Amino acid sequence: MAKDFIKIDLHIHTPASDCYKGKSSDDEFLKILKRAKAENLKIIALTDHNSIEGYLQYLKIRHNLINRKNELMSRQLAESSEEIKRIERELSLFDEIIILPGIEFEVKNNVHMLIIFNPNTPSERLYKFLYDSGYRDFGKESPTVVSNWDILDLYDSSRKYDCIIIDAHTDSNKGIWNTIAHGSYRASCFTSPHLYAIGYKSESQKDNIEEIFNSNKAYRRVTPISFVRFSDAHSYRDVGSQFTWLRKPEIFDFAYLQNAFKNPSEYISVEEPSLAKILNNIVQQTSTFGISDITEENLEYFRKLICGLNNSEGGYVLFGLTSDHKKRGISIPKGDNKKKETLINQVEKCVNGIDGIPKLKITTYPYMSDSIIISVNIQKSPELINIKDEGTIYSIRNNKLCVLSAMEIKSVLEEKFANDMEMSIGKRIEDVERECKKIRNYFSALPILKKFEMNSEVARFPLNYEESIDLSEREISKLKKASYNGFSRGNIFFLQEYFTPRLDYTYLRYSLPMFTIQKLGIQAKKIETIYIVAGGGVFYSHKDYPYFFEEDLPVIKLHENLLKSFRAKFITCFLKSSLMIFYCMNRLDDNDIYMPEIFERIRLPRVNVSNPNIKQSISNIEVNFDKIVDMERGFLIRIKNLRDDPLITEYDRHNSEVDKLAYEIDNEIYKMLNILPDEINVIEDYLRLNNIYLPTF
């Protein structure tokens, strides 16, 4: 095996995927790691279908092994020694193999994309990614729901995350190449800088893709693309059956992997590589320039090459290579790392003399026994750059450095602008199609809106704003360090963010985020209270608590004794219901009922509360509401002192139970207002089109 490279497999399923062939047990999960070790894999990614459950299970297994080992060691029993040794062997697997969280994600185009996340990403952020995309039923190879996102939406959403996106199997019926029709949209999918790599099966298809990338202007990329092969293992026996070589890092971090994919010529290979092979490959490329040594004159020429390659298609500059591509190397006494660092610093400092931000990647190669070759990969960027105070725009033409004329500069800028516009066309088309669906849905919505208005009346709630209390800097600091979702008990309601009516990826649904501030000196009044907060979030409490919000925005408080016809619990549920959100967005153009112009037009059902059927529906709603609040209280108590990521899986289990009850509340409200099944479908389609969270069962 090449000693300068390691093997990676970034497409592995676990028992968390419904198509996995094996038992769903901790031992099965460990078998995957054991197989990875046997195949000499150093980095793996666990990529279950639309799920991170498998990755979180690995964290939980490791957590449990550590706890069990500590427990056995504390007992100091002789008979425990064998079990401790077994646990240590299993824990060593986690130390020897880097495990990355990933998802095999199905976009609405039916294309499967791999998303590999930075392992430092909190688990709740990973859940948010899935929830925002429309997935809740995790692990299914053929999901029962369609994602909110197409490929370009996925790219756009990924900007908020530290991740790598890979076309999982481009030349299968679930890949970009075979699934997306020829045209500007497919070109945009391939040319986006958010796509790091392309997974493939057929070498001939890979060659076809590379040929199009090189010959078709619409497919030209700003950064190179890596071609990769991974196992797509659906049993532990398949792990490592296909893999990719990655140049060995001195110290691994996620940024190293991201940068490696952007420079595949030197860092990524599907064939067994060697530094000599890679160096020879770079030397033979037409976009490679040689500079024999590091001198002031040569560094000035190097600055011009940086600008020229950046302003054209990118390429390489090799120090220690003659201008006619003969390897000479730069002499360095064996083991003289200080001189090596000095040379690299001289090369790096050249960017200080350039207007703009060129993207350079510097790599060194040993040559002979006492020399090195310094490779500088210069990537194309959307902006033209030039040497400071010189005003000359350099480019590369016919593999030579040249100066662009005014007309040529104009032409280059126009071409860059046209390419940028072309890349966005596919996304714009998708946006237009979505808007057309919304308009069609709006016509279907009109009779529902009319029915609701005929069977409801303006609530005329008092607009009662209450200001935030004052706290000391020390007290505020204490609040900020606490869990953002709050505890089950406390003496202050604390807001850290704006809340929308539908809190999809957090377990806090109906009850307040509560915290304790010692010696607050304010007594909460015992009266049922509805809190409406900035963003339109709605909460309930059996007491009127003081609150603190760093943004210094007031909250709207509705007390039980000021409400008409219905109790506070029912009104809380109604304000958070799908019907109310649907009505506000269609008739009032927003679902933020915190805004006075919307708050003053809130409507409540006009029904006979003494009617046995209506009475039963209201009772059912309030019973389900009480269940939700009890579940939240119990859940918050359980997780209050937990800080380990594996236990974040408990959040989702809790959410799924709350979702069922909230959905039943929705259905009782539909029943009260005689909203028919076809009309419910219109409401739910509208909410999903507008990315409003709605559980799917």
What's the Cα-to-Cα distance from 179 to each of 151, 170, 176, 210, rounded to whole Å?
12, 8, 5, 17
CA pair distance 572, 560, nearest whole angstrom? 11
CA pair distance 42, 98, nearest whole angstrom? 6
> E-strand spans in 438-504?
456-458, 465-466, 492-495
Q: What is the CA radius of gyration of the chain?
A: 30
Half-sphere exposure of 370 (CA within 13 A, CB side): 4
Mean pLDDT of the chain: 87
Six token digits for residue 680: 């419910």
N-terminal to C-terminal alpha carbon distance within the chain = 49
What 3-state DSSP class applies to 117? strand
DSSP tally for the chain: helices H, then strands E: 21, 27
Nearest in space to 573 (alpha carbons), one of 628, 508, 522, 613: 628
What is residue 644's predicted lDDT score, i.e. its pLDDT? 45
Q: Does pTM surpass 0.85?
A: no
Cα-flanking dihedrals φ and ψ of residue 195, to 5°? -90, 115
pLDDT band at 5 (very low <50, low <70, confident <90, very high): very high
By the 8 A CB rule, do 153 and 188 touch? Answer: no
Residues 176-192: tens digit of each pLDDT: 998 887 777 888 899 99
CA pair distance 625, 665, nearest whole angstrom? 8
Lowest mean pLDDT of 62-71, 151-160, 417-426, 655-664, name the range.
Answer: 417-426
Region class of 534: left (phi > 0), else alpha (psi between -120 and 50), else beta: beta
Lowest mean pLDDT of 64-73, 254-263, 343-352, 436-445, name the range.
Answer: 436-445
CA pair distance 485, 513, nearest whole angstrom? 6
Region class of 320: left (phi > 0), else alpha (psi between -120 and 50), else beta: left
CA pair distance 430, 427, nearest whole angstrom? 5
Cα-flanking dihedrals φ and ψ of residue 279, to 5°? -60, -45
Kind and range of the H or E run holding 42: strand 41-49
Tell me the average pLDDT across 577-589.
Answer: 92
Nearest in space to 433 (alpha carbons), one of 120, 109, 56, 665: 109
What 3-state DSSP class applies to 268? strand
Lowest mean pLDDT of 170-184, 308-322, 667-681, name the range.
Answer: 170-184
Residue given tokens 């450095």 in the structure block: 401
Question: 364 - beta bridge partners?
Answer: 374
Give the amino acid at 399.
N
By the 8 A CB rule, do 293 and 334 touch? Answer: no
- Between 251 and 33, name the one with better pLDDT: 33
Residues 249-283: tens digit of each pLDDT: 888 899 999 999 999 999 999 988 888 888 888 98
Cα-flanking dihedrals φ and ψ of residue 47, to 5°? -125, 75
Residues 476-535: tens digit of each pLDDT: 877 776 655 677 778 888 887 777 777 655 556 788 888 888 777 778 889 999 999 988
